[in-house]
Amino acid sequence: MLGLNRKDGVLFLIVVVMVIFAPFILNPFPSDSSLAQFNAGYPDLMQRFLIFGIFAVGFNILFGLTGYLSFGHAAFLGAGSYAGVWMFKLLGMNVLYAITASVLVAGLFALFIGFISLRRSGIYFSILTLAFAQMSYALAYSVLTPITNGETGLQLSQNDPRILEGASAADGSLPVPSLFGLETRATHTLDLGAWSFDFNAGYYICGVIMILAFYLSIRIFRSPFGMMLRAVKSNQQRMNYTGLNPRPYTLAAFVISGMFAGLAGGLMVSMDPLAGAERMLWTRSGEVVLMTILGGAGTLIGPVLGAGFIKYFENIFSRINDQVLHQWFAFLPDGFENAMVFLVHPFVGKGWHLTLGILFMLVVIFLPGGLVEGGQRIGRLFRRKKKTDQAAGTAQGQNTPAE
Amino acid sequence: MESFIIQILNGLDKGSAYALIALGLTLIFGTLGVVNFAHGALFMIGAFCAVTLGRLLTLSHEVLDPSRTDFLGNPAMVKVPYIYDIFGPELGATIIDWTVPLSILFAIPVMILVGVVMERGLIRHFYKRPHADQILVTFGLAIVLQEIIKAFYGANPIPTPAPQAFTGSFDFGVLLGFDPFTVIYPYWRLIYFVFSVVIIAAVFAFLQFTTFGMVVRAGMADRETVGLLGINIDRRFTLMFGLAAAVAGLAGAMYTPINSPNYHMGMDFLVLSFVVVVVGGMGSLPGAVLAGFLLGILQSFASMSAVIETIPGINQVVIYLVAIIILLTRPRGLMGRKGVMED
């Protein structure tokens, strides 16, 4: 199917189904129950799942396949965002303009940075990309203010030209990004008994693009090009000796992953037309590293899982406050209850980053393959029993005739 | 000419901090071969050692003060630090005033302990794993440490003043024969510079003139052979990690009056210190120190208004620009040895 083998086809189908039915899957609790705070099915968060999924999938093409650890990918996200908003300002509010421009701009930017950074490998590469990203951040914050609008961030305004659409609305409201008239913020709410589900146009636009991006990443992973990138990771010297120059391959991977990041940036501004310099900060680059590693670098589904995981818990954990904790531990005697709340308190609410950091360290230490490897290990645990039974059976079968 | 000297002086204090952090980073990289992304966090913990000591010293109990009354006419409750009871009010007040210098004594054991625990507990398991894994796990550790500090001390900067005696400024220009008040420089920054020079000299002397330092240097050159000679090189390297942590911690503790400590100061300094290490040459101690001061001064020159007018924004990017140029043209850095991490 679509040039995928059976296993990849199934994986791809699962992702497609998940994306289509996410508004249902992520809203398992009735909207007025006490568990409703664990619902993640509101448009804003679902869009973020997909956008960061694209970002992480792109990062994975570089880090997962070639092993080059870039600490500056946020620069492409930021560049894509700025390009997107400028398209809204100059051309019109169709998201296609923004997405196309952001992919192209981020690609060019990545070509420039990658061309220089890829002259070095290992830690030097990480530091070079970090330096470039910090430079872009500093410049976007200060000197490039005419383009980036500095601290305030780039916004739409009334007197933007928008040459393809003419003057803005007469009532003075700012126009909204749309796809051929379908506004990205348009939401249809479906009430089914106690449940309510939101179907958001922007979410499904992101969904289609994310599915395309995911498909592209599968094809890259399975292509001869992907094989070359793996060769770069496993032994670059040997690749050199076989007469292959790794540079064009790594540069291509860098540009592709930069374009994915730009695409994510373009989608971000399509959902909310605002771009700020802090999107380029190196902690943002660190975030995508966290997502990819947590999910499983070098695997197809890992980055998507990691992005979803981090964004979900970021939202849920930061909403748990002391009051909620007291409710949870209410069954304990008072002293214990307070003690438990005191113990758990630093890890939830504003302390979510602490939990994330600990989790990330645990994954790097014990589970270098991320959540995907964890899943495989659990799967193997269940399967091993059968296999050992079989193995014992065959061993016996072989032994008996010899006796 | 005056402004020239001012810029050099301004660059020195930041340069000192860079040099100290980069020195520790290089020590760790040279001995253990680990790229420590948590080193900025150690700098921050050092700064919070000073804050903690300040809080410990001002722990107080309330007593009735008969000589003063509150607005209702009752005798007022006054907070009296315990330290007044032990040393008497005058000496006690002096001790509290001198919190930051005293925190040196407090920070050394704490930081060595933190460093040793970090090495034995975590980083030891990562020697055989790729550099990328080391970067990732120390990056995670940096997040954890910084969030722990945030949980205890909050997100706002905590002002930590220098002792009263050092709050003024020093008229440096008079010494050089300029008019008074043309080149003035805060006392504390001068002290910070002198302090960092002393620390750097001490570290070098320790490595150069003690048997322990000699063994460590030998281990840096050829770890296996030193191990074969029956020397427990691992234990010494662990102690070097503790030492590097202490250097970073002291840099942080003394930096508090210049810049009020907050939980993300470590991350801010970390990126720049890495750049410093790379410019100086990976694994070269003198290179790290030289590059630290050079880049500090360079940054301060780049923020002169005349320079900014010609090349706008240069003050923000000059360090990164230098790093990129160095990495591309001379990957081993200013003083790096040939063949060490050159690819």
Could you tell me if A3 lies within 8 Å of chain B, comparing CB atoms? no
Look at residue A211 in the predicted model and tell me its pLDDT: 92
Choose the mutation target among B29, B123, B139, B275 for the interface with A, i.e. most A CBs under 10 Å. B139
B41 contact residues in A (CB cutoff 8 A): none
Long-range contacts for B316-321 (Cβ within 8 Å, ≥24 apart)?
B316/A135, B316/A138, B316/A139, B316/A141, B316/A142, B316/A143, B317/A135, B317/A138, B317/A139, B319/B272, B319/B275, B319/B295, B320/A131, B320/A132, B320/A134, B320/A135, B320/A138, B320/B275, B321/A135
List the single residue in A135, A351, A365 with the smallest CB-CB distance to B125: A365
Could you tell me if A310 lies within 8 Å of chain B, comparing CB atoms? no
> By mean pLDDT, which of A84-93, A371-380, B77-86 is the weakest?
B77-86
Name the residue in chain B with its Cα closest to that of A69.
B132
Choose the mutation target among B28, B35, B124, B147 for the interface with A, i.e. most A CBs under 10 Å. B147
- Name which of A104, A16, A52 is nearest A271 in CA terms: A52
Separation in Å, CA of A373 to nearest CA in chain B: 16
Domain tally, chain A: 1
Measured in whole angstroms, the distance separating CA A152 from the mean position of its chain's CA atoms is: 25
Phi, psi of A275 (to 5 degrees): -130, 130
- Name which of B93, B118, B159 is nearest B249 in CA terms: B118
List the single residue in A127, A135, A141 with the smallest CB-CB distance to B274: A127
ipTM > 0.90? no
- Name which of B266, B237, B258 is nearest B40 in CA terms: B266
A308 has a pLDDT exceeding 60: yes
Could you tell me if B331 lies within 8 Å of chain A, comparing CB atoms? yes
| Residue B84: both structure tokens together | 């007044």
Choose the mutation target among A151, A364, A365, A373 for the interface with B, i.e. most B CBs under 10 Å. A364
Phi, psi of A300 (to 5 degrees): -70, -50
Q: Look at A123 and B133 and tell me if their CB atoms are within 8 Å.
A: no
Q: Look at A139 and B317 and tell me if their CB atoms are within 8 Å.
A: yes
Name the residue in chain B with its Cα closest to that of A234.
B130
A146 has a pLDDT exceeding 50: yes
For chain A, what percent of residues have pLDDT higher than 70? 93
What one-character-per-residue DSSP string does B44-75 give? HHHHHHHHHHHHHHT-EEEEEEEEEE-TTSSE
Strand (E) or helix (H) holding B184: strand B184-186
Helices B131-153 and A122-141, axial angle in degrees (round to 10): 40
Separation in Å, CA of B90 to nearest CA in chain A: 39
pLDDT band of A188, cuts 50, 70, 90: confident
Task: Report DSSP state, residue A158.
Answer: T
- CA pseudo-torsion sign A22, A28, A32, A37: negative
Separation in Å, CA of B44 to nearest CA in chain A: 16
pLDDT tens profile B230-282 = 888 888 889 999 999 999 999 999 998 888 888 888 887 888 888 888 888 87
Q: Is A212 or A336 the better-scoring residue by pLDDT?
A: A212
Q: Is A129 or B77 the better-scoring residue by pLDDT?
A: A129
Separation in Å, CA of B238 to nearest CA in chain A: 20
Task: Report strand pairing: A182-183 vs B60-69.
Answer: unpaired
3-state secondary structure of B101: helix
Choose the mutation target among B124, B127, B128, B143 for the interface with A, i.e. most A CBs under 10 Å. B143
A354 contact residues in B (CB cutoff 8 A): 143-144, 147-148, 151
Residues 6+ apart with CB under 8 A from A87: A97, A98, A100, A101, A102
pLDDT band of B132, cuts 50, 70, 90: confident
Let me know if residue A294 belongs to a domain.
Answer: no
Separation in Å, CA of B311 to nearest CA in chain A: 10
A3 has a pLDDT exceeding 80: no
Q: Look at B151 and A354 and tell me if their CB atoms are within 8 Å.
A: yes
Say if CB B160 and CB B98 are below 8 A apart: no
B141 contact residues in A (CB cutoff 8 A): 357, 361
Q: Look at A142 and B313 and tell me if their CB atoms are within 8 Å.
A: yes
Let me know if residue A346 belongs to a domain.
Answer: no
Task: Report strand pairing: A274-275 vs B60-69.
Answer: unpaired
Look at residue A150 in the predicted model and tell me its pLDDT: 76
- Name which of B19, B29, B20, B31 is nearest B213 in CA terms: B31
Could you tell me if B230 lies within 8 Å of chain A, comparing CB atoms? no
Give the Cα separation of A35 and B204 in Å (integer): 60
Q: Look at A122 and B312 and tell me if their CB atoms are within 8 Å.
A: no
| Residue A6: both structure tokens together | 């059976």
Q: How many CB atoms lie within 10 A of CB B91?
A: 12
Could you tell me if A190 lies within 8 Å of chain B, comparing CB atoms? no
Look at residue A260 in the predicted model and tell me its pLDDT: 94
pLDDT tens profile A32-80 = 777 777 777 778 888 889 999 999 999 999 998 998 989 889 999 999 9
Let me know if residue A400 belongs to a domain.
Answer: no
pLDDT band of B196, cuts 50, 70, 90: very high
With 0-12 CB in 10 A as exposed, 13-18 as middle and 19+ as buried, what is A193? exposed
Look at residue A402 in the predicted model and tell me its pLDDT: 42
B29 contact residues in A (CB cutoff 8 A): none
Q: Look at A127 and B327 and tell me if their CB atoms are within 8 Å.
A: yes
Say if CB A59 and CB A219 are below 8 A apart: no
pLDDT band of A167, cuts 50, 70, 90: low
Could you tell me if A368 lies within 8 Å of chain B, comparing CB atoms? yes
Question: Residue A183's domain is classified under what CATH number?
Answer: 1.10.3470
pLDDT band of B117, cuts 50, 70, 90: very high
Burial A109-135 (b: 16+ CB within 10 A, else e): bbeebbeebbebbbbbbbbbbbbbbbb
Q: Look at B316 and A357 and tell me if their CB atoms are within 8 Å.
A: no
pLDDT tens profile A351-396 = 788 888 888 888 888 888 888 888 888 888 888 766 555 555 444 4
Could you tell me if B132 lies within 8 Å of chain A, comparing CB atoms? yes
Adjacent-strand bridge partners of B169: B186
With 0-12 CB in 10 A as exposed, 13-18 as middle and 19+ as buried, what is B131? middle
Could you tell me if B139 lies within 8 Å of chain A, comparing CB atoms? yes
Could you tell me if B133 lies within 8 Å of chain A, comparing CB atoms? yes
Name the residue in chain A with its Cα closest to that of B324.
A128
Three-class DSSP labels, A302-369: HHHHHHHHHHHHHHHHCCCCHHHHHHHHHHCCHHHHHHHHHHHHHHCHHHHHHHHHHHHHHHHHHCCC
pLDDT tens profile B211-229 = 999 998 888 888 888 889 9
Give the Cα separation of A75 and A54 in Å (integer): 15
Long-range contacts for B209-215 (Cβ within 8 Å, ≥24 apart)?
B212/B236, B212/B239
Could you tell me if A143 lies within 8 Å of chain B, comparing CB atoms? yes
Task: Report strand pairing: B75-81 vs B60-69.
Answer: antiparallel
A67 contact residues in B (CB cutoff 8 A): 130, 132
Say if CB B19 and CB B293 are below 8 A apart: yes
Separation in Å, CA of B235 to nearest CA in chain A: 22
Q: Look at B320 and A289 and tell me if their CB atoms are within 8 Å.
A: no
3-state secondary structure of B156: coil
Domain boundaries, chain B: 2-57+69-263
List the single residue in B125, B278, B321 with the smallest CB-CB distance to A127: B278
Apex A112 CA angle, A108 and A115, nearest 5: 130
> By mean pLDDT, which of A185-194, B150-159, B291-300 is the weakest?
A185-194
Q: What number is the average pLDDT over the span A141-162? A: 79
Adjacent-strand bridge partners of A188: A199
Q: Look at B327 and A124 and tell me if their CB atoms are within 8 Å.
A: yes
Give the Cα separation of B248 and B257 in Å (integer): 16
Could you tell me if A123 lies within 8 Å of chain B, comparing CB atoms? yes
B135 contact residues in A (CB cutoff 8 A): 69, 123, 126
Which ranges constitute the DSSP H helices of A38-170?
43-66, 74-90, 95-117, 122-141, 145-148
Task: Give the CA distances from residue A334 to residues A328, A348, A396, in Å, rounded to whole numbers and listed in that order.
Answer: 12, 21, 60
Q: How far apart are the first and last CA of chain A?
A: 51
